């Protein structure tokens, strides 16, 4: 019962055509959160039955995780935008290097495999090429809970005779490692205390989902999380929260085009650091009747200095979209990237459009206010691709953004959403994809089954 949309989303090639110069205006709803949905999907493996994620985003990363769970024996299906995960017989223990190489979030499955089966083998994780993302802290927390890990070329092999609660302190805050520890500890014997935890909203939502499954957790959203292990979890059933990064991206698009948009379902309290910077640039916003009205018509001021930080600081995932906005603002702005050392990859492509950006190490200097012009650019990773779309919407003439598959990893309907707001944008998947005979055979097979 594989979903055909997943096959299309993961395999599709193509480019996005954009004609800039129109201020965005209108009302939009935000898709479910990618970063919340993926660990929830991993949590479903902890119950031998059917769990559901309501309002799950139909994006490439979700389809990739779905494919991995199916490779372990899970049965998955979609009813609208609700994703059902039947993990009754998902007793596989090996996740191939091919699968884990597509998406870094797959690493959090190692702790789940240990909790469920006492062993697990995973290939080294992949994802966007934005710098070093070591797995040492993942291994640190799993070893602390009683697992034995062997590092081989290209994969990790872990085993245990039963995970046991422990007191573990992370060397630095890591979202993935914190999620790893939580997922492994909820069914471990005894009490686990995790110190120096990441505080991102995705961790809060994971803990809420696990509590609905019967886990005993307290302290999420704080640096110390305490977990009392339980012997068995029940089915999970929860609505995926709106994606704060998508919401921030659309606000950036409105600001870059000097438009005004209304977000019907804004993430509550999760965008405060971003909105503080947005207001400093001249953007205005109000919350009214559960909606967020973002008016970017007054965007006119540079940001002299900004550092990306772990939550609740300014999110690294919105650094590239913000850079695109700053290219349209007169004056000099400076961004210091503290999370990933190679997250200015979009800068070179923005320069092709006329942006004046100088990158030195982890710092980017943006001399804004010079007209952007449409041209052909290439997305090299997810958020950088979104930044190119934002710049293209603000540029004069037509732009073509190649590498739309990177963008589809995190944005469900970015072209349709921005078009609904008045943007001249459309996606061209290209004929090469549809002419691929092997892919067509697979689509036909899954339609029949």
Residue 437 has pLDDT above 70, yes or no: no
The proportion of the chain whose per-residue pLDDT surpasses 90, expressed as a percent, equals: 83
Name the pLDDT band for 1 (thresholds 50, 70, 90). very low
pTM: 0.91
Residue 181 has pLDDT above 60, yes or no: yes
| C-alpha pair distances (Å), 343 with each of 39, 169, 320, 363 | 23, 27, 8, 10
pLDDT in the model for residue 429: 60
pLDDT digits (tens, 9 = 90+) for 305-317: 999 999 999 999 9
Name the pLDDT band for 131 (thresholds 50, 70, 90). very low
| C-alpha pair distances (Å), 220 with each of 84, 178, 179, 185, 225 | 26, 10, 11, 14, 6
Q: Are 329 and 292 in contact (CB under 8 A)?
A: no
DSSP state of 293: E
pLDDT digits (tens, 9 = 90+) for 135-173: 899 999 999 999 999 988 878 999 999 999 999 999 999
Read off the pLDDT of each residue in 10-18 and give the average, rounded to a whole number. Answer: 70
Phi, psi dihedrals of residue 12, rounded to the nearest 5°: -60, 140
DSSP E strands, 362-420: 363-368, 376-378, 398-402
By CB atoms closer than 10 A (0-12, 13-18, 19+), residue 161 is: exposed
Could you tell me the sign of the dihedral formed by the alpha carbons of 169, 173, 179, 180, in that order? negative
Tell me the C-alpha distance between 274 and 427, whole Å: 28
What 3-state class would DSSP assign to 301?
Answer: coil
Tell me the C-alpha distance between 233 and 187, whole Å: 8
Read off the pLDDT of each residue in 195-203 and give the average, rounded to a whole number. Answer: 97
pLDDT in the model for residue 104: 74
Tell me the C-alpha distance between 90 and 98, whole Å: 19
- Assigned token pair, 111: 């702790």
pLDDT digits (tens, 9 = 90+) for 121-130: 998 775 444 3
3-state SS track over 105-145: HHHHHHHHHHHHHCEEEEECCCCCCCCCCCCHHHHHHHHHC
As a whole number, the mean pLDDT across the chain is 90
- Assigned token pair, 187: 């069914």
Read off the pLDDT of each residue in 254-271 and give the average, rounded to a whole number. Answer: 97
Residues assigned a catalytic role: 128
Residue 84 has pLDDT above 70, yes or no: yes
The proportion of the chain whose per-residue pLDDT surpasses 70, expressed as a percent, equals: 90
Q: Which of 115-119, 193-197, 428-432 has the lowest mean pLDDT?
A: 428-432
pLDDT in the model for residue 432: 36
Q: Are 241 and 29 in contact (CB under 8 A)?
A: no
Name the pLDDT band for 400 (thresholds 50, 70, 90). very high
Phi, psi dihedrals of residue 291, rounded to the nearest 5°: -110, 160
ω into 312 cis (within 30 of 0): yes
């Amino acid at each position: 019962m594989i979903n055909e949309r997943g096959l299309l989303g993961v395999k599709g090639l193509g480019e996005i055509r954009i004609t800039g110069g129109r201020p965005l205006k209108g009302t939009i709803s935000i898709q479910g959160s990618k970063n919340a949905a993926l660990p929830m999907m991993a949590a479903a493996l902890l119950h031998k039955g059917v769990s559901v994620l309501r309002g799950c985003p139909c994006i490439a990363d979700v389809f990739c995780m779905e494919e991995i769970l199916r490779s372990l024996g899970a049965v998955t299906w979609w009813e609208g935008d609700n994703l059902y995960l039947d993990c009754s017989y998902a007793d596989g223990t090996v996740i191939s290097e091919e699968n884990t190489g597509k998406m870094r979030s797959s690493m959090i499955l190692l702790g789940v495999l240990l909790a469920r089966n006492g062993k697990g083998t995973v290939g080294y994780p992949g994802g966007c090429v934005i710098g070093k993302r070591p797995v040492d802290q993942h291994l640190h927390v799993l070893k602390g809970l009683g697992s034995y890990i062997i590092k081989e070329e290209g994969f990790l092999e872990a085993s245990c005779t039963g995970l046991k609660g422990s007191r573990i302190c992370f060397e630095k805050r890591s979202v993935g490692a914190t999620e790893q520890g939580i997922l492994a500890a909820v069914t471990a014997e005894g009490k686990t205390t995790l110190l120096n935890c990441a505080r991102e909203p995705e961790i809060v939502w994971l803990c809420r989902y696990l509590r609905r499954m019967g886990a005993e957790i307290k302290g999420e959203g704080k640096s110390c999380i305490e977990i009392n292990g339980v012997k068995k979890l029940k089915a999970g059933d929860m609505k995926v929260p709106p994606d704060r990064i998508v919401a921030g991206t659309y606000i950036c698009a409105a600001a870059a085009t000097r438009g005004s948009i209304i977000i019907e379902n804004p993430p509550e309290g999760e965008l405060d650091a971003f909105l503080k910077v947005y207001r400093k640039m001249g953007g205005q916003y109000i919350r009214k009747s559960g909606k967020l009205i973002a008016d970017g018509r007054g965007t006119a001021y540079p940001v002299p200095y900004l550092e990306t930080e772990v939550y609740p600081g300014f999110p690294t995932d919105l650094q590239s979209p913000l850079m695109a906005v700053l290219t349209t603002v007169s004056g000099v702005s400076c961004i210091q990237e503290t999370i990933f050392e190679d997250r200015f990859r979009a800068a070179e492509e923005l320069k092709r459009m006329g942006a004046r950006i100088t990158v030195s190490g982890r710092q980017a200097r943006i001399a804004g206010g010079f007209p952007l012009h449409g041209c052909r650019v290439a997305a090299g990773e997810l958020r950088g691709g979104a930044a190119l779309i934002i710049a293209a919407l603000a540029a004069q003439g037509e732009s073509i953004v190649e590498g739309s598959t990177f963008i589809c990893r995190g944005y469900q309907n970015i072209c349709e959403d921005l078009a609904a707001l008045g943007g001249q944008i459309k996606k061209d998947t290209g004929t090469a994809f549809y002419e691929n005979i092997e892919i067509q055979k697979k689509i036909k097979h899954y339609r029949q089954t």
